[in-house]
Structure 1
Amino acid sequence: MDFVYVVEMVEVVGIALGVIGLILTIVICALPTWIETTFIAGNVVTTKVVLNGLWMCCLTLGTGQTRCEMDNSMCFFPDLWNYWGHVLEPAKAMILTAIILGVLGVMFSMVGAKCTDCIKDKTSQAKLIIIAGILFILAGILILIPVSMVARSIIRYSSERIKAVLGASLYFGWVAAALLLIGGVTLCITVGPTVSDRDILTETYSIS
């Protein structure tokens, strides 16, 4: 099998992982499902559930009605925001930065990918792919940090009246971070050999 073809396929896999990771990051940024809090009265679990996200909090009642506030600081339960705010506020900045880095990574990878053939110079292609890989890795780290911080705060939270559990966005966040990290490393690996080394290997395979 042609060595260059194999590298191209691995490159496509790395880009695909980065794109999926970016999409998941945008999803967790928008959804108010980072923290799920249930209010308890005595030994009876009430039907009031509060969902907190980076930008809004929602209150779901037993009747099925859901009300949301776009400003977390104006949440229905200010005491909750006083506790969760110190981890959710920094998470906003890191997740937004991760999205920007992810978008740039996708753009660089698309332009530098061998399959798109946007750039003829192989050295320039390799540089763009390396930059894209590094951007994916940085984005993955910037997702992993806030998601883990929020999860740690939830696990350490203790109250007889309030039960807090990990929201779905945290699990999606870990998946997004893993995909971006793996995608970034994959892209960097595809540029492992130098251009001249690849040419030599290609000629060797062609001769054999």
Structure 2
Amino acid sequence: MDLQKSSVTAAFLGWIIGIVSCALPMWMETILICSDRTLRKTLEGLWRMSLLEGNSEQAGCKLFDSTLPLSSGLLASRIFCVISIVLGVPGVLLAVMSSKHINCVEKTKTTVAMAAAVTLICAAVMMLVPVGWYVYTVVVSLKFPAPELGMKGLGKSFYLGCVSAGLLLTGGALKLPCKKPQQEILNFLGQCTIYMD
């Protein structure tokens, strides 16, 4: 697989995974041990919360109540996640248009490739904002624990957001219109061997 196909594939997969991570209510997990020794697990996402009671794994999912004031970090995470998904659309389309197999923009392929790279890298940076905010929230809750609020941890959507940002960044970096450095880097990585003791 050449660099053109790799960059388009990475960008497309990063965009799809970004959509999934934004939609799933699994950014942060809160586990609370109730007075009757039952576990109460709450999964918090950007748009809704799920409540899992005990070991039954029966979820009750609800949207965030609009009457309660949402934190500014959650609102910013929503905005940046949506901006990342919206930026992913032209980024992936420009990446496809600038590949060597498409002949519709033959004279301006370098300009289109540069636009695709910048758009995909911007989308990756936008996806890193919600990821960073949730890491900050969990670290602060671990540093200053409040047992009555439960123990917080990172959920599956957080990791999907990290993978999405990484793939979008990879797709954008591979689209940068350079003459030889990309192939030289790949050749160097192919020659490297990791020795395990």
Normalised TM-score (structure 2): 0.81
1:39, 1:156 → 2: CA distance? Answer: 17
RMSD after superposition: 2.2
Question: Is 1:159 the equivalent of 2:146?
Answer: yes
Structure 1 equivalent of residue 186 of structure 2 = none
Q: Which moved more, 1:56-65 or 1:129-138?
A: 56-65
Q: How much has 1:17 moved relative to structure 2?
A: 0.8
The aligned length equals 175
Structure 1 stretches of 4+ with a deviation exceeding 4 A read none
Q: 1:105 to 1:54 in 2, by over 3 A?
A: same
Q: Partner letter of residue 174 of structure 1?
A: C
Maintained 8 Å contact 2:34/2:40? no
Q: Partner letter of residue 67 of structure 1?
A: G
The equivalent position to 1:179 in structure 2, one of 167, 173, 178, is 167
SS at match of 2:65: helix
Maintained 8 Å contact 2:7/2:95? no
Q: 1:69 to 1:173 in 2, by over 3 A?
A: same
Q: How much has 1:14 moved relative to structure 2?
A: 1.1
2:36, 2:171 → 1: CA distance? Answer: 47
Q: Percent identity?
A: 27
Per-residue CA deviation, residues 142-164 of structure 1 (Å, 9 max, x unaligned), is 11122111111112112113111
SS at match of 1:32: coil
Unpaired runs of 5+ in structure 1?
1-7, 195-208
Q: How much has 1:43 moved relative to structure 2?
A: 10
Q: How much has 1:47 moved relative to structure 2?
A: 2.4
Q: How much has 1:11 moved relative to structure 2?
A: 1.8
